[in-house]
Structure 1
Amino acid sequence: MTSYPWQEGTATGIGSYPGDDPAEALRIVLGELPEMPHLPELPARGPGADLTGRTAGLLVDMPVRVEPSGWRFSDRPGRDTLRSHDHLERDLDVLEEIAGGHDGPFKIQVCGPWTLAATIELRNGDRALKDAGAVRDLAASLAEGVAAHVADVRRRLPAARIVVQFDEPGLPAALAGTVPTASGFSRLRAIEEPVAEDTLRTVIDAAAADDAAYPIVHCCARNVPYALLRGAGAQAISVDLRMVPRRDDDAVGETIDAGTGLLLGAVPATDAVLPSPRATAEPVKELWRRLGFPPARLARQVVITPACGMAGASPRHVRAALRRCRETARMIFEDAE
């Protein structure tokens, strides 16, 4: 039987939150999502706290800087790279202080190599995604940096089971050849699936080596490449439930049948009136019924999450949404007993 790091009826978050106080955000997460909390990301703090800048700070020997057009590789580390390091170091110090005794699964998030390559520019202004050699170098650097990051988090949370989430919202566009060039007047050539899978596997394998972490890939875009993500080593896949059309039934069914975990984004990530826990659970159950899997397996294999990151939500909605995720997950578990 497939083993998962979480218990039945578990909920977690995706990553980003509003505000600029890491201690306050972490306390909210620990309070509302005790079964599988995660390290909040606070992009409101500015460059270096955003998804790209935060992960770029993990790169080994590949410094970056901020340009008007976004992040770009640099010749030497400057204030922007140092700012990324400072934000993350502060977050990890807060994590150790507040959650150092946590003894269950704990999730951290990093940007995946393909989304990172689509959002960092080479020194000449082209996207790194355009240059196959640059992508290989980036993936190797990211693999080394993520492995070191996982080791650092394990040192600070010695009793926890580390779950590492690779955010790849840009992967479907890279595969489809719809990522715009730097000028915006053309599109970059599509990435071949075997190349995409091998590159992602390089980073996942480094993070999960010697069972250091349980790897998840999060993709909140349409056309999630489920088989590719499984082939690259993802042991669970995180998606926005609204982005799971019926045409994906075969791919989702194969994923469930393979024992791959699913993190289903069932709760609105931005301010909205929240449906009841039962109404929130219904689309999750309907998907499971449609695919013909036994209800008892649902609460074990599926984790309930917000639809995506919550940086654009109000603090009040964040608390309510996380609570609704947990209530929904618990209801699914109780209904299956």
Structure 2
Amino acid sequence: MRPLVTLTGDGTFRAPTPAESLRLDLPDDPHLAALTRLRALLGDDLEDQIATRLYLPSALGLDETDHLLPATLALLAETTGDLVSYGWRLGTGTGLAWQHARELRERMLDAARIALLGYEGPLMTSALGPATLAGATFLQSGERTLADPGAVRDLPMLLAEGLVEHLSTLHERVPGAPLHVLLREDAVAAVHEGRIPTPSGRRRYAPIPAPDIGVLWRCLFVALEEYGLPAESVTLGVGADIALLRAARDAGARRMAIAPRRLPPLTSPEGRALWEGIASACDDGCAFEIVVDPRPGGLLGPELEMMFETWRRLGHSDADAAGVAVIAHTGASHALHTGLVDPSAQPAASTLLDEAALEALLRLAPSWAERLAA
């Protein structure tokens, strides 16, 4: 039986504190402790109609190198760089921070062999997408990678090669788990709309047209498909723009993540076009995953109600959304999307998911499943 809803996280998980590890009888190693706890939370389906997707956290927030951006940079094949005063710089020579990010990734893979022994459910790994990487990193000159079209074109292939190696190692560590990839394009709207500032701050980089971003995505999808990971096993964050949605579909995306908070209302021309694009993609067999903040005090209830109301106005029932996946998220990427935060900025530990957020998601799941079954 196909589940009504599948629950997962955004690829981050704040490492348990020593006190939490002691209370929960977790291992002293933070990577092993985090994976052990995540397996306890998401390692088993709640019931027949509520499934879970366990994930390998790409960021625990242990230090400045333990976040999603450096974790993704550590994946790039044959690429070196370092953390400098203005951000993560690509260039010749591997700096200490870059090397440490690689070591953290390897420690998580080693921890997976122990914490996920015998696990045979779905297992997801996460990375930032090429458009976001282009806006979040710098070249040797001090300019953003966006300033060099050749470097931007190289990013998807470097990322794909690194992801394939990473997935191969993960398969060796957890041989029974079907693998899934979450590509977070947190800053794709800013890159597409030309809102990324130059080093001087007095101007912005030229916008990258949606079809050109789609070419980056297509290169990545093709490489992953050659490895053996079909498009159905890759979730791509597409923002809230109809041009980007179309570019993603043209690139071969079959599973896309959207955040209700970002979607324009159906009453606006932009909203009408986007929502009709979403409905058309669903009719063609594409799947959408919903990015929400389940923490107490969040806007989860109103956001989902607005989404369901719009869905009904387009002629669909709540039951038509059965099979949806819900991604828990702290909302940190919304600030990137609106331009309030620079994608190159060092995130705070508070931007990472914690156990309380995932527990809140698990508590809300039965009511969602009941609604989708109606």
Residue 304 of structure 1 is matched in structure 2 by: 326
Structure 1 residues 9 and 117: CA distance shift in structure 2, 3 A: same
Contact kept? 1:281, 1:332, Cα under 8 Å: no
Structure 1 residues 231 and 273: CA distance shift in structure 2, 3 A: closer
Matches within 5 A, 1:46-195: 46-195=63-212
Residue 259 of structure 2 is matched in structure 1 by: 240
RMSD of aligned Cα (Å): 2.6
Q: Quote the Cα distance in structure 2 between the aligned partners of 1:197 and 1:115.
A: 13
After TM superposition, the structure 1 stretch with the greater mean CA deviation from structure 2, 205-214 or 250-259, is 205-214
Unaligned runs of 5+ in 1: 1-5
CA offsets 1:142-167 (integer angstroms, 9 cap, x no match): 12111111222222222222110111
Report the alpha carbon displacement of residue 275 of structure 1 after superposing the two structures with TM: 6.9
Q: Quote the Cα distance in structure 2 between the aligned partners of 1:186 and 1:275.
A: 36
Residue 321 of structure 1 is matched in structure 2 by: 360
Q: Secondary structure at the match of 2:141?
A: coil
The one-letter amino acid of 2:365's match is R
The one-letter amino acid of 1:180's match is P
Residue 288 of structure 2 is matched in structure 1 by: 262
TM-score by length of 1: 0.87
Contact kept? 1:73, 1:123, Cα under 8 Å: yes
Q: Quote the Cα distance in structure 1 between the aligned partners of 2:174 and 2:370.
A: 30
CA offsets 1:60-97 (integer angstroms, 9 cap, x no match): 12101000101001312232222111111111122221
Contact kept? 2:193, 2:208, Cα under 8 Å: yes
Residue 3 of structure 1 is matched in structure 2 by: none
Does the alignment pair 1:223 with 2:241?
A: yes
Q: Secondary structure at the match of 1:182?
A: coil
Structure 1 residues 25 and 280: CA distance shift in structure 2, 3 A: farther
Q: Quote the Cα distance in structure 1 between the aligned partners of 2:286 and 2:129.
A: 19
Contact kept? 2:319, 2:371, Cα under 8 Å: no
Structure 1 residues 314 and 112: CA distance shift in structure 2, 3 A: closer
Contact kept? 1:267, 1:324, Cα under 8 Å: no
TM-score by length of 2: 0.79
Structure 1 residues 325 and 192: CA distance shift in structure 2, 3 A: same
Report the alpha carbon displacement of residue 41 of structure 1 after superposing the two structures with TM: 3.2
Contact kept? 1:267, 1:280, Cα under 8 Å: no
Structure 1 residues 250 and 115: CA distance shift in structure 2, 3 A: same
Q: Secondary structure at the match of 2:322?
A: helix
Structure 1 residues 290 and 267: CA distance shift in structure 2, 3 A: farther
Query: How many residues get paired?
Result: 326
User: What is the percentage of aligned positions where both structures have the same residue?
Assistant: 27
Q: Quote the Cα distance in structure 1 between the aligned partners of 2:321 and 2:314.
A: 11
Q: Quote the Cα distance in structure 1 between the aligned partners of 2:353 and 2:228.
A: 37
Q: Quote the Cα distance in structure 2 between the aligned partners of 1:280 and 1:181.
A: 34
Contact kept? 2:164, 2:227, Cα under 8 Å: no
Q: Quote the Cα distance in structure 1 between the aligned partners of 2:80 and 2:73.
A: 8
Contact kept? 1:268, 1:307, Cα under 8 Å: yes
Q: Secondary structure at the match of 1:71?
A: strand
Q: Quote the Cα distance in structure 2 between the aligned partners of 1:206 and 1:195.
A: 17
